[in-house]
Amino acid sequence: MKKNTAVLAGALILALGIMGGLLIALRPGGRRDVESRFLSYVEGLSETGRLVLVQGRERLTVQESAKGQLFGDTTLGDLLKIRSDAVVELSAWAELSWAVDLSDPGRWSVRVNRGERILNIAAPPLLTLTPALRTETLEARVLNRSIFLDEKKMIDSVRAALTRRFEEIARSTSDRPEVRNRAAASLSAIALAFCRKFKLPADRAEVVFGLEE
C-alpha cells in the first residue's frame, strides 16, 4: 500500500512539474511567448521569407582549364591537330547578401536569461543569396598566353560554366568569420530593438548560427 502511494505521489509530482513548465513557457513573457513574438517581429522586417543581415560587394574570380588548339583555326592548326591546355580566368564584381531563413520556426530558439539580462538566439544557418553579378565589370583572360592559341574561342567555350561557378564561390563566403560576425552583430541589434519594444529584461543579445546540413 505504501509503495503504491509513493508511486502515485511521484507520478503526481512529475505531472505537476511538466504542467508547471508548460505554463511558464506559454505564459506572457515565457519562452514560447518570447520566441513567437520575436519571429513575428523579424518576419515583419522581410517580404521574402529571408531576413537579410549583411550586404556587400566583392570581386569574384574563377578559373577553368580549357582545351585550345595550337595555331588557332588556321590551316596549319587543322592539319596538325595539336592541342594544348590553358587556364581561362573570369572575374566580376558582385553584390552579395547574407540572410537567415524565416520559413521554419522550429529551427529557431529564442530565450531570455533574466538573471544575466541576455537574449539568447539560436538561428538557422547563415545563407548566401544568389549573387547579383555586375556584368559590365566581367573580365576574361587566358593566363598562360600563347600567340598560337585561339584565346577568344577558348574563353567563349568556358564562359557559361564559369558564370555558374560564381554562385558556388559566393555560397562559400557565408563561412567566413568576418561575415558571420557582422551578421551576428546585425541580428543582435534587431534583437535589442525587439527587447526595447516589448520591454523585455535584456541588455544584450547573443547569437549563434546553425551549421548547414
For the segment 65-109, what is each residue's pLDDT rounded down to a tens digit? 666 554 444 443 444 444 456 777 888 899 999 999 999 999 999
Per-residue confidence (pLDDT) for residue 213, from 0 to 100: 66
Instruction: Provide the Cα torsion 170, 174, 179, 180; round to 10°.
Output: 170
Residues in CB range of 41: below 8 A, 6 or more apart: 194, 197
User: Measured on CA atoms in the order 199, 202, 205, 206, is the torsion positive or negative?
Assistant: negative
Per-residue confidence (pLDDT) for residue 129, from 0 to 100: 92
For the segment 29-45, what is each residue's pLDDT rounded down to a tens digit? 566 889 999 999 999 99
Give pTM, 2 decimals. 0.70
Instruction: Provide the Cα torsion 127, 132, 137, 142; round to 10°.
Output: 60
Q: For residue 4, how many other CB atoms are within 10 A of its CB?
A: 8
pLDDT band at residue 10 using 50, 70 and 90 as cut-offs: very low
For the segment 190-205, what is each residue's pLDDT rounded down to a tens digit? 999 999 999 999 999 9
Strand partners, 132: 95
Q: Is the pLDDT of residue 53 over 60?
A: yes
- Grid cell 558582385 is found at 94
Distance CA 93, CA 143 (A): 19
Distance CA 99, CA 97 (A): 7
Per-residue confidence (pLDDT) for residue 121, from 0 to 100: 98
**What are the structural domain ranges in the chain?**
2-209
pLDDT band at residue 27 using 50, 70 and 90 as cut-offs: very low
For the segment 110-164, what is each residue's pLDDT rounded down to a tens digit? 999 999 999 999 999 999 998 888 888 888 777 765 545 565 666 666 666 667 7
CB-based burial, 95-132: b 16+ in 10 Å, e otherwise: ebbbbbebeeeeebebbbeeeeebbbbebbebbbbebe
Nearest to 129 by CA among 189, 54, 207: 54
Provide the greatest CA pair distance for the chain. Answer: 106
